[in-house]
A and B are shown apart, each in its own frame.
Chain A
Amino acid sequence: MWALTLYRSTIGKKMIMAVTGLVLVVFVIGHMAGNLQQFLGPGRMNAYAAFLKSTGELLWIARLGLLAATVLHVLMAYQLTQIKRAARPIDYTRREPQVSTLASRTMRWGGVLLLVFIVFHILHFTTGTVFPVASRPDAQYPAFSHTDVYGNVVSAFRNPWVVLFYVVAMLFLLLHLFHGAWSSVRTLGLSKPSPDPLHRRVSTVIAVVVWLGFTAIPVAVFFGVIR
């Protein structure tokens, strides 16, 4: 069976990572663009959130799809990491990276941090289970509310530790995208031959735009631009 042939090979496993990774890239771009409505005030942001919730089954299909993509992505990352560890049981005393980027070398640990971030993020803004109290509480938005997304964001990012965690996580997302958005196209064999194969333009733009868009919100709240 072809799916099994793929699953059994390192190339196939990496292709699963690439496809699921690209699904997450598309999601992350959309999520970032949607979130920027926080800058347009409570009316727009809460209407957007209400609209997403009103899609009912569609929302759940999207959520399950993202969950499946994430689980497969992490599972393949884990399996390939085991394979690669076994491939060099005795390491060099000295090995000097020549051209590999910081981004490519932090895919694994950065990926683990992203996983921790994703779990925290869902418990934080989706369910409100973990909602660190603001160190500068705001009388207007005292606690988590399932209907006031705008207010949740404002009160969440008054806590400097929460802001720091989000900012650091987005730096790792920047790195992950800088490598991943480019490498996934090559993994899937969709790239054209290039005189400078390590050069990437599109994925640099994607990574920087996503990073700026996501980072802007906690930073803007913290410094009182969004209140």
Chain B
Amino acid sequence: MNLTLQVWRQPGPEADGGLKEYQASDISPDMSFLEMLDVVNERLIEAGDLPIAFDHDCREGICGSCGMMINGVAHGPSKATATCQLHMRSFRDGDTIVIEPWRARAFPVIRDLVVNRGALDRIIAAGGFISAPTGSAQDANAIPVSKQDSDAAMDAAACIGCGACVAACPNGSASLFTGAKISHLGLLPQGQPERFRRALNMVTQMDLENFGHCTLFGECQEACPKQISIDVISRMNRDFLRAAVTAPSDRAASGGDG
């Protein structure tokens, strides 16, 4: 198949960027979207041009590295699919495909389609952990967890941190990501000791990173390659409210070895 690509090219963080047009000819419908870009890049290199920079690693939908806005949709047209798992058969011969990086103040462009998602790491660092004494962990089966809680926690833990929720949100909000991280620990017994401090600190960090607020558009859960539900946002809000009302500020200091 033959496609016309309009790709955001930006040489560096401070440089001006713009959409540039490329022809992607003789593309197999069985290729993945990233393989299609690989082919385009090989031809660019042969022609002496700089290849299109994009993030990728596992290419099997589990690492969260890949991600781009494809025709105005985060991760493109297939539901519950990361960009690396998107196949060219989702497009038609002759299509024009607009490819842009995730857009958010918290995700500055590094180059072309590569953005810095360190803001998400800093949200995790603010509270996305549990404290457990090393070497003396008890047998996991010794702590009962209800089926509902473990299912809900595992659903939230499916988050791969790709940032599609932020990219798809009209407000540039990281609520789905932060809610998922708060929920997957907060639902389990091991996550209880830091539960409310975690909610307070992660939400505070989320705000500090200049993400927008949640209007409940629902675009994030639709964009999420792991189909995480906006239920995690309600849960985050509930825990955050409890934390704000009950936690004295001295207890809000960050965790670690205490």
Contacts and interface: CB of A to CB of B under 8 A. Distances in A.
Interface residues of B, number: 50
A183 B73 CA distance: 23
A96 B71 contact: yes
B213 interface: yes
Interface stretch (B35-43, B56-64, B169-177): B169-177
A178 to B, nearest CB: 12
A119 interface: no
Nearest to A179: B216
Contacts of A14: 213-214
A27 B152 CA distance: 37
Contacts, number: 147
Given A10-B207, A87-B105, A92-B100, A189 B235 contact: yes
A186 B222 contact: no
A186 B223 CA distance: 19
Contacts of B237: 11, 15, 186-189
A13 B213 contact: yes
Given A2-B245, A94-B100, A197 B211 contact: no
A140 interface: no
A182 B215 CA distance: 11
A183 B216 contact: yes
A54 interface: no
Interface in A9-23: 9-15
Contacts of A179: 216
A59 to B, nearest CB: 33
A11 B240 contact: yes
A40 interface: no
Given A98-B222, A197-B230, A186 B216 contact: yes
A93 B246 CA distance: 44
Contacts of B152: 193
Given A88-B105, A88-B172, A93 B100 contact: yes
B4 interface: no
Contact of A183 (B211, B215, B245): B215
A5 interface: yes
A37 B93 CA distance: 63
The 8 lowest CB-CB distance pairs between A and B, nearest first, are A189-B238, A87-B172, A87-B212, A96-B72, A10-B213, A100-B217, A84-B212, A94-B72
10 contacts: A15-B237, A86-B210, A86-B212, A87-B104, A88-B104, A94-B100, A99-B218, A104-B215, A186-B234, A197-B221
Given A94-B71, A191-B231, 4 more contacts: A10-B173, A86-B212, A189-B238, A193-B152
Interface of B: 19, 69, 71-73, 98, 100, 103-106, 152, 168, 170-173, 200, 203-204, 206-207, 210-219, 221-223, 229-231, 233-241, 244-246
Interface of A: 2, 5-6, 8-15, 80, 83-84, 86-100, 104-105, 107, 179, 182-183, 186-191, 193-194, 197-198
